[in-house]
Amino acid sequence: MINEKLAKIFFEIGDFLEMEGVQFKPSAYRRAAMVLKGLEKDVEEIYKSKGIKGLENIEGIGESIAEKIQEYIKTGKIKYYQKLKKAMPVKVEELVQIEGVGPKMVKTLYKKLGIKNLEDLEKAAKRHKIAPLFGFGEKTEKKILQGIEFLKKSQGRFLLGEILPYARELERLLSSLPEVDKVCLAGSIRRRKETIGDIDILATIKSSGKKREDLKKAEKIMDFFTNLPEVVKVWDKGMTKSSVRTNKGFDVDLRLLSKNEFGSALLYFTGSREHSIALRKLALEKGFKLNEYGLFKGKRIVARQSEEEIYRKLGISFIPPELRENQGEIQAGINSFRKQGNGLPDLIELRQIKGDLHVHSEWWKKGRKSIEKIVNRAREMGYNYLGISEHTKFLKIEHGLDEKQLLRQRKDVEKINASLKGTGFYLFQGAETNIMPDGSLDIEDRVLKQLDYVMGGVHSNFKMSKEKMTKRIIKAIKHPYLKVIVHPTGRILKQRKAYQLDFLKVVKAAKTYGVALEINSSPFRLDLNDKNARIAKDYGVKITINTDAHQIDHLRYMELGVSQARRAWIEKKDVINCLSRRAIDSFFKKSKIIS
Ligand code: DGT
Ligand code: CA
Ligand code: CA
C-alpha cells in the first residue's frame, strides 16, 4: 500500500507551501493526504485498473495531485516535492507535531536559529533562544518544551487504527502458508489497546508428528516471515521466535508453538502483564502453577490447549481479551463462573450497532447526492439508520452550515427519506454544533428544534482552566435540545492532551439531563477513552459510538470505537445507537427538566 507514503509526502508539501505563504494550495494537499489515509483501496491498484482518470475520480483528488501520484507510481519519487525539500531542508513533519508549532514558525526558527529538527528545537528552547523571536516571552518556550515531552512519551507507540489492518494482513499471509495450522494475534493488539508498542503473533505448525519434519516447517515459516518485503531489520531469528522491524517503524514478534501448548501460550502472551500476574497468584492459591507452558498441579498438566480450559480449571468464566487489564475482571469472571451477581459484562459487539450518528458529508458543495452516497454505504453495511451531522457555522474551515443551510438540508433529508420508504432504512438529520467558550451553541434554538437531534463539541479555546471548561460543557449539557457531547475530552492521540476537565462533574450532569457521551471512533481520537467510558457507564450515562466520518471509507472505523467500548465493559444496553430507530427517536425527543 503506497497510500500512507503518499499521504505523508502530501502533508509535507502542504506544510512547505504554507511556509511560503501560498494560498489555498496547502489545504488542497492536506485534504488529498487525508483522503489517501482514509482510503480502503490501494491507489496503485486504482491507477493500474483505471489510469489517471481513476485517480481524479477519487473525492478530493484533482488533476495536478493525480499527476503527482502517477509520477510516484512510475518513478518512485515526486520532483516537485524534492525541489521544495531542497529549498527548506528541515524536518517539518517532525516539528509541526508539537502543539503550537506551525509551518510559518518552522520557517522563522530555521531562518533565524537554523533549527532543523526536534533536537535543535529542544536545545534552543532550553537555552531560551526562542522567546525573543516571537515576543511571547517564556510562555511559548515552556509550551514547546511541554509539547516535546508529550511527544517523547508517546513515541514508539502506534495507533491501533493504523496498525490493525496491517496485523490482520500478516495474520492472513501466515495462515495461507501450508506449514501453518493456527494463527492468532496476541499482546496489546489482541486486547485492542488504543496504542500498540509492537505486534505479537502466535502460530502453530501443522505437525506431522515427526520432529525433523516439524523443524523443517518451522524454518520455512520463519524464512517467510523474516523475508517479508516490508521487513527492514531482523532483530532475532530462531525456530520458536523471530522478531523484525518493518518499514512502517514498528516491530513484529512471531512465536511458533506446538498445538498442545497453544492455549497457555496465548493466555500468557496476550497479557496484560498485570492480568497474568493476578491469574498466577490465584492459581497458586488454588494449589496450581500457571505459566506459558500450561496449568500444572505438581508436575501433572491440568490444562494448556485452550484459554477457555485454563480459565475453567481455575473456576473463572472466559475473560474476553479486551478486559484483561486487572481491573476487576478476574473477580467478575469468578462470579460469572459461580453464577453470582456482579459477573462479567455481556460486551457490546460491532454487529449490534444499528447506525452511525456522527457523519459528515459534502452537502455544502455537492448537495443531496453526497448524502445519498453515504446512505448507500450505510445500507450495505447493514445499518438501520444513519445520522448526518455537519459542522456548524462557527467552524469555517470545515464549511460549517448556518441556520439557512441547515433548513435547506432538512428538505433534502426529507426527500431522501421519501425515496427510502419501504426499505426499513431511515436518515436522521443532526448537527455537530460548536460549544462556544461561554457554553452556548452556535445555532439558533428555533433551528435546532427542527433537527432530529443536536450534538455539540468543543472545537476552539482548548486552553481554558479546568473550572471554566467544566462549566462550559455542563452549560451545553443543560441546553434544552442538546443530546450528545462528541469527543468529550478533546484529546488527539500522540498529538494533543485532553483539555482540563472535571470529568466526574460532566458525567453526573450528563446523567441528570439525559445526554449521551460519545466514543469517537476516529483512530486519532478514540475519545472517550476506555477509562473515561467505563466511568460514564458506571454512572449510568448513555454512550454513543460513532465514526466522525469525513469521507465514506471512514465509516469502517466503527470497530475501533466498539473495541474501546468493550475495554470499558460497555454492553449493548448502554449504547443508544444499538436502539431501534423508534427507540432512539424517543431518546432524541425526550425533553429535559432544566433546573
Ligand atoms: P505493547 O506491545 O507495549 O503495546 O504491550 P503488550 O501487552 O503487547 O506487551 P509486549 O509486547 O511487551 O508483550 C506481549 C505480552 O507478553 C504481554 O501482554 C504479556 C506477556 N509478557 C511479556 N513480558 C512479560 C513478563 O515479564 N511477565 C508477564 N507476566 N507477561 C509478560
Ligand atoms: Ca506487543
Ligand atoms: Ca512483543
The 3-class SS string of 232-295 reads EEEEEECCCEEEEEECCCCEEEEEEECHHHHHHHHHHHHCCHHHHHHHHHHHHHCCCEEECCEE
Domain(s) labelled CATH 3.20.20.140 in the chain stretch across: 350-589
Q: How much distance in Å is there from the Cα of 270 to the middle of ligand 3?
A: 10
Q: How many whole angstroms separate alpha carbon 581 and alpha carbon 94?
A: 45
- Among left, alpha and beta (phi > 0; psi -120 to 50; other), residue 192 is left
Provide the CA 222 distance to its chain's centre, in angstroms: 31
Q: How much distance in Å is there from the Cα of 132 to the middle of ligand 2?
A: 44
Q: What is the DSSP string of 351-384?
A: GG--EEEEE---HHHHTHHHHHHHHHHHHHTT-S
Identity at 17, one-letter amino acid code = L
**Which pLDDT score, from 0 to 100, does residue 595 have?**
66
Q: How much distance in Å is there from the Cα of 316 to the middle of ligand 1?
A: 22
Question: Atom 13 in ligand 1: which residue has the minimum CA distance?
Answer: 187
Enclosing H/E stretch for 385:
strand 385-391
Q: Which residues form the pocket of ligand 1, taking CB atoms under 6 Å from any ligand atom?
A: 187-188, 193, 196-198, 200, 268-269, 271-273, 276-277
Residue range 158-257 forms a domain whose CATH class is: alpha beta
Give the predicted TM-score (pTM) of the model. Answer: 0.85
Domain(s) labelled CATH 3.30.210.10 in the chain stretch across: 267-337
What CATH code is assigned to 350-589? Answer: 3.20.20.140
Q: How far is CA 544 from CA 205, 486, 541, in A?
A: 42, 9, 10
Q: How many whole angstroms separate alpha carbon 588 and alpha carbon 396?
A: 27
**Which pLDDT score, from 0 to 100, does residue 34 have?**
87
The residue among 77, 79, 81, 46 whose CA lies nearest residue 61 is 46
Q: How much distance in Å is there from the Cα of 227 to the middle of ligand 2?
A: 21
Residue 201, classed as helix, strand or coil, is strand
**Which pLDDT score, from 0 to 100, does residue 59 have?**
84
Instruction: Name the grid cell of 101.
Output: 508549532
Q: Does domain 267-337 have CATH number 3.40.50.970?
A: no
Q: What is the mean pLDDT of each run of 10 residues along the chain (595 residues)?
A: 90 92 90 88 94 92 94 96 92 85 89 92 89 75 84 83 94 96 97 97 94 94 95 91 90 94 96 97 97 96 96 98 98 97 97 98 95 97 98 92 98 98 97 98 97 97 95 98 98 91 98 98 97 98 97 96 98 98 96 80
The architecture that CATH gives domain 3-154 is Orthogonal Bundle (1.10)
Task: Give the contacts of 169 (CB within 8 A, at least 6 positions apart).
Answer: none
Ligand 1 atom at minimum distance from 193 CA: 4
